[in-house]
Amino acid sequence: MSQVTEDDWGWLCGQFAAEGKKGFVLVWDNASWHVSKRVRRWIGAHNRRVKREGGGQLRGCYLPVPAPGLNPIEPKWLHGKRAIIEPDRQLTATEIKQRVQEHYQCDPQEPLTQNAA
C-alpha cells in the first residue's frame, strides 16, 4: 500500500503544483501505509526536491488513534463500501470503479500505473 500512497500523492502534488499551490497538509489516520517509514521518506524526499526545484511541500497531520470521530471521511468510506458491495460475490475491478463513481458522483479518472519496487 505504501507504493499506492506514494503514487497517489505524486499525482496530487502534480495537480496542486499546476494550480500554483505552494504547500498542503495531509490530514489522515494512522493506517500502516500512511505512517510507514517508506512513505515518510518519500514525503521528506519530495519536500527536499520541491524546495530546490519549486512546487508544493507536504506536511503531515496525523489524527490521534483513539479519536476516529475527528476523521469525517471514515463514515463516508463505511457507507461507500456498504453501498457498492455484494455479499454473494466478489466484484470485478471494473464493477467497483463504476459503482464508486456512481455512489460518490465523481468523474472517471485514468488509474495510476503502479511501479514495481
Cβ–Cβ under 8 Å, residues 24 and 16: yes
What is the per-residue pLDDT for 117? 53
Rounded to whole angstroms, how far apart are CA atoms 76 and 116? 31
What's the length of the chain? Answer: 117
* Packing angle, helices 93-104 and 73-84, rounded to 10: 130
| Highest mean pLDDT of the ranges 28-42, 58-72, 84-98 | 84-98
- Does position 10 have pLDDT exceeding 70, yes or no? yes
- Kindly state the average pLDDT of the residues 102-107: 89
Question: What number of CA atoms fall less than 13 Å from residue 19's CA on the CB side?
Answer: 10
Higher pLDDT, 55 or 102: 102
Rounded to whole angstroms, how far apart are CA atoms 87 and 102? 19
**Quick one: cell of 64?**
490521534
